[in-house]
């Protein structure tokens, strides 16, 4: 049987050579890795994917006494009380390690749908009937006789029979037989045992490809879209086939940076002809593999010939959808706590870590100020820890009792409730969330930057809270919902095009959408005392100028501007400004700090209501230049870079890469002491920033683009 597979593989590779498709190589879109069909090889370059810590093969296999190639034969979700679990029955083809149990082999995964209840867990894979994969398994201690994935999502290597490739969260295997199988056998130190032929894989490998029948993608429109919003993509070209049949449109998988492709549900294809396809851009895909992300499109026609688009589709954000009756349905946020939104409760052990709570609350403030997300922290604590459940208590905890899977930094449990909309579909609302973080991580809680291999807790909190707002992963370095994070990096600022736009879209839908009849799920309300649209600071001639804007105010008394040189220490109040009281229109405020001295300065707003309730803004940092200094911030930067100039003379500002190539240049008129350098698709890396006056005065500094 192995000879047949190898023969089929040789035919397939021969076709690749004839069509000049490269077997290896990367097509880069920022830090994301987008797949050439049958062409990606090697690990993804992001150090952590889907907010995971990468594990070596040795680490994964240490936790996996059983490794099999199998097909998902049946899927059944069950409400166990605390959680919904899904039981996946596996049909085994090959065993790479260990001995099969007597009877059925059942894999238990977290989440699923039972009646009108739905539960999703970030980082927990979902599977579809018929899907094939390599499963790294260990006995499930909570379900006797069943297994769970070893190392969580890194214990699953999905097989793509359309392209005869495979992918895990960090790597794409360009050939199942020539790359994946040898890797597994080398790592386990033994040859696999064949239990029964994998007929579907054999048929795919032995199929003689027809290069002349391959589809051709001429164009697609629009080129920038959003996922899970019913956005329609029109693809034109030839060779698509008169009808879809088993044809698919593959979108780059946002959960792994594009190392695999995901396909919409059948009902999302609106039309299919030989020259044009119309399809909705999905956030829920076949098998729950992940939302559509930025990258190239893969068209496969009804006779299994495939082709890639020549350019990338850009996906700005993704909203969570739930599959109902084989169709996606949006999710609405509701006023679960009766005061307009959701109240979160700290576990006692988490609450005792004041640095962690301060970091988590800075992230809450960022979402509150950025999109008006109405979430608050309860006054008391709870003894509930990582044994969380759909129990009407939204817990924030470390994994003190039950360890998260190896390599997982944090997870968000989202609990949904549904009701019939009277038109054959369902309305879904978010009933609650739980947030669990790795208690043994080398965290940097901030506000200092992470160093020495630390993981930034505020960045991870911000990302997981984004999942709580029902935003999915995207592929956009620098955005909070970007699928990856590396050690020693931070991203504590919402990206306007992605994070803010996505959060606003979800909240606007929630404010306007119909609700279920349950009185606990009343409509979300925007009753935040103050909706702070923006707050920023910049060095100017004579000091530091602070500006902020509100979109609405309810019973607001005043704003107090506070500053410090040590954000972990004491804050000094600089001035109070009267607030608008009650307003439904935009209000702009400004303050000039004339006492700022050279060096870094931190600022925040303390907003007080008429009843004495106090809220704090996020913290902003500026560096005030001393005489003759050129200062750029934030550094490293992910979006715009602000520059404080040494003097107010006419000058030229230039940005060079390390090879000495000029990548950006702009003139600075006399009298200007600060400028912005926008992110114009700069690649991540180290750059030299140079300021040179007409009279020859020169200053340089180094900046890092994340």
| Sign, Cα dihedral of 642, 646, 652, 654 | negative
CA-based radius of gyration for the chain: 27
H, E, C per residue of 228-248: CCCCEEEEEEECCCCCCCCCE
What are the backbone angles phi and psi of residue 178, rounded to the nearest 5°?
A: -95, -15
Give the burial class of 569: count Cβ atoms within 10 A of its Cβ; 0-12 exposed, 13-18 middle, 19 or more buried. Answer: exposed
Query: CA torsion, points 433, 438, 442, 448, in degrees to nearest 10?
Result: 10
Residue 45 has pLDDT above 50, yes or no: no
Give the burial class of 535: count Cβ atoms within 10 A of its Cβ; 0-12 exposed, 13-18 middle, 19 or more buried. Answer: buried
For 237, other C-beta atoms within 10 Å of its C-beta total: 18
| Sign, Cα dihedral of 562, 565, 568, 569 | negative
CATH 3.40.390.10 spans which residues of the chain? 338-511
Residue 424 has pLDDT above 50, yes or no: yes
* Angle subtended by helix axes 354-371 and 501-512, to nearest 10: 70
The C-alpha atoms of residue 405 and residue 123 are separated, in whole angstroms, by 10
Around 608, how many Cα atoms within 13 Å sit in the side-chain half-sphere? 11
Q: What is the pLDDT of residue 435?
A: 94
Tokens of 337: 């706590």
Mean predicted confidence (pLDDT) in 327-338: 87
Residue tagged 């997300």 (tokens) = 373
Q: Cα dist. 244→264, 461, 609 in Å?
A: 13, 42, 59
Q: What does the longest C-alpha to C-alpha distance in the chain come to?
A: 84
Q: 383, 363, 385: which is closest to 375 by C-alpha? A: 363
Contact 36, 27 (CB under 8 A): yes
Q: Could you tell me the fold of the domain covering 631-705? A: Immunoglobulin-like (2.60.40)
Q: Cα dist. 252→147, 269, 285, 298, 539 in Å?
A: 30, 17, 11, 8, 41
CATH 2.40.50 spans which residues of the chain? 57-206
Q: 220, 294, 235: which is closest to 472 by C-alpha? A: 294
Q: 308, 316, 393: which is closest to 348 by C-alpha? A: 393
527 pLDDT band, cuts 50/70/90, is: low
Give the burial class of 618: count Cβ atoms within 10 A of its Cβ; 0-12 exposed, 13-18 middle, 19 or more buried. Answer: buried
CA 101 to centroid of chain Cα atoms: 37
228-277 pLDDT per residue, tens:
999 999 999 999 999 999 899 999 999 988 888 999 999 999 999 999 99
CATH class for domain 57-206?
Answer: mainly beta
Tokens of 404: 């998260």
CATH 2.60.40.1220 spans which residues of the chain? 631-705
- E strand or H helix at 357, and its extent? helix 354-371
The C-alpha atoms of residue 493 and residue 462 are separated, in whole angstroms, by 9
106-162 pLDDT per residue, tens:
999 998 888 888 999 887 888 989 999 999 999 998 888 999 999 888 999 999 888
Tokens of 275: 């020259």
Q: What is the pLDDT of residue 283?
A: 95
For 671, other C-beta atoms within 10 Å of its C-beta total: 9
CATH 2.60.40.10 spans which residues of the chain? 216-319, 531-624
Q: 530, 538, 466: which is closest to 502 by C-alpha? A: 466
The C-alpha atoms of residue 586 and residue 588 are separated, in whole angstroms, by 7
669 pLDDT band, cuts 50/70/90, is: confident
The C-alpha atoms of residue 632 and residue 688 are separated, in whole angstroms, by 11
Mean predicted confidence (pLDDT) in 437-443: 90
CATH no. for 338-511: 3.40.390.10
Residue 524 has pLDDT above 90, yes or no: no
| Beta pairing class for 698-705 and 685-693 | antiparallel
The C-alpha atoms of residue 456 and residue 458 are separated, in whole angstroms, by 6
Average model confidence (pLDDT) across the chain: 83
pTM of this prediction?
0.72
Q: Could you tell me the fold of the domain covering 216-319? A: Immunoglobulin-like (2.60.40)
Residue 319 has pLDDT above 70, yes or no: yes
Q: What is the pLDDT of residue 567?
A: 67
617-660 pLDDT per residue, tens:
777 878 776 656 777 777 777 767 777 777 777 888 888 887 78
Residue 704 has pLDDT above 90, yes or no: no
The C-alpha atoms of residue 363 and residue 462 are separated, in whole angstroms, by 5
Give the burial class of 528: count Cβ atoms within 10 A of its Cβ; 0-12 exposed, 13-18 middle, 19 or more buried. Answer: buried
Instruction: Please state the CATH superfamily assignment of the domain spanning residues 531-624 in this structure.
Output: Immunoglobulins (2.60.40.10)
H, E, C per residue of 447-513: CCCCCCCCEEHHHHHHHHHHHHCCECCECCCCCCCECECCCCCCCCCCCHHHHHHHHHHHHHHHHHC
Give the burial class of 150: count Cβ atoms within 10 A of its Cβ; 0-12 exposed, 13-18 middle, 19 or more buried. Answer: buried
Residue 532 has pLDDT above 80, yes or no: no
């Amino acid at each position: 049987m192995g000879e047949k597979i190898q023969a089929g593989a040789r035919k397939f590779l021969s076709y690749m050579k004839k069509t000049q498709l490269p077997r290896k190589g990367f097509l880069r879109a920022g830090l994301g890795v987008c797949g050439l069909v049958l062409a990606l090889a090697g690990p993804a370059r992001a150090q952590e994917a889907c907010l995971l810590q990468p594990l070596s093969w040795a680490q994964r296999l240490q936790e996996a006494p059983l490794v099999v190639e199998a097909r998902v034969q049946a899927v059944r979700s069950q409400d166990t009380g605390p959680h919904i679990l899904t039981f996946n029955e596996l049909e085994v083809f090959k065993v790479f390690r260990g001995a099969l149990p007597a009877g059925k082999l059942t894999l238990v995964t977290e989440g699923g749908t039972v009646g009108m209840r739905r539960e999703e867990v970030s980082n927990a894979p979902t599977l579809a009937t018929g899907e094939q994969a390599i499963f790294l398994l260990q006995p499930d201690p909570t379900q006797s006789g069943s297994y769970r994935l070893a190392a969580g999502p890194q214990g699953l290597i999905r097989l793509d029979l359309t392209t005869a490739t495979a992918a895990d969260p960090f790597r794409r295997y360009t050939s199942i037989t020539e790359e994946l199988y040898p890797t597994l056998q080398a790592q386990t130190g033994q040859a696999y045992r064949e239990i029964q032929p994998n007929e579907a894989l054999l048929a795919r490998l032995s199929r003689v490809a027809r290069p002349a029948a391959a589809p051709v993608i001429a164009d697609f429109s629009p080129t920038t879209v959003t996922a899970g919003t019913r956005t329609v993509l029109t693809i034109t070209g030839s060779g698509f086939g008169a009808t879809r049949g088993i044809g698919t449109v593959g979108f780059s998988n946002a959960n792994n940076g594009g190392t695999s492709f995901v396909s919409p549900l059948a009902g999302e294809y609106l039309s299919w002809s030989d020259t044009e396809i119309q399809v909705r851009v999905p956030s829920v895909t076949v098998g729950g593999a992940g939302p559509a992300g930025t990258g190239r499109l893969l068209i496969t026609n009804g006779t299994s010939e495939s082709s890639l688009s020549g350019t990338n589709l850009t996906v700005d954000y993704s909203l969570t959808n739930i599959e109902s009756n084989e169709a996606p349905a949006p999710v609405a946020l509701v006023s679960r706590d009766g005061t307009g939104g959701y109240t979160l409760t700290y576990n006692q052990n988490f609450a005792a870590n004041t640095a962690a709570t301060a970091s988590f609350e800075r992230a809450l403030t960022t979402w509150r100020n950025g999109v008006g997300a109405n979430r608050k922290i309860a006054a008391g604590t709870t003894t509930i820890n990582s044994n969380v459940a759909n129990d009407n208590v939204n817990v924030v905890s470390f994994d003190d009792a039950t360890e998260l899977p190896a390599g997982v930094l944090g997870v968000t449990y989202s609990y949904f409730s549904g009701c019939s909309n009277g038109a054959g579909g369902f309305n879904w609302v978010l009933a609650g969330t739980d947030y669990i973080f790795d208690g043994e991580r080398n965290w940097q809680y901030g506000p200092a930057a992470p160093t020495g291999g630390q993981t930034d807790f505020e960045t991870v909190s911000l990302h997981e809270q984004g999942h709580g707002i029902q935003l999915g992963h995207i592929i956009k370095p620098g955005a909070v919902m970007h699928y990856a994070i590396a050690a020693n990096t931070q991203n504590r600022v919402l990206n306007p095009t992605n994070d803010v736009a996505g959060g606003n879209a979800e909240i606007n839908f929630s404010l306007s959408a119909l609700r279920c009849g349950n009185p606990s799920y009343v409509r979300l309300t925007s009753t935040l005392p103050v909706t702070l649209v923006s707050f920023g600071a910049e060095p100017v001639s004579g000091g530091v100028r602070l500006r902020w804007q509100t979109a609405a105010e309810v019973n607001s008394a005043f704003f107090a501007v506070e500053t410090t040189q040590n954000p972990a220490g004491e804050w000094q109040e600089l001035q109070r400004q009267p607030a608008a009281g009650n307003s439904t229109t935009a209000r702009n405020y400004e303050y000039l700090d004339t006492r700022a001295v050279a060096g870094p300065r931190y600022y925040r707003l303390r907003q007080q209501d008429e009843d004495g309730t106090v809220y704090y803004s996020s913290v902003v940092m500026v560096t005030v230049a001393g005489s003759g200094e050129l200062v750029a911030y934030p550094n490293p930067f992910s979006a715009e870079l602000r520059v404080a100039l040494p003097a107010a003379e006419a000058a030229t500002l230039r940005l060079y890469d390390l090879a000495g190539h000029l990548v950006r240049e702009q003139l600075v008129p006399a009298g200007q002491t600060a400028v912005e350098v926008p992110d114009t698709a700069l690649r991540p890396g180290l750059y030299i920033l140079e300021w040179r006056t007409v009279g020859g005065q020169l200053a340089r500094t180094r900046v890092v683009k994340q």
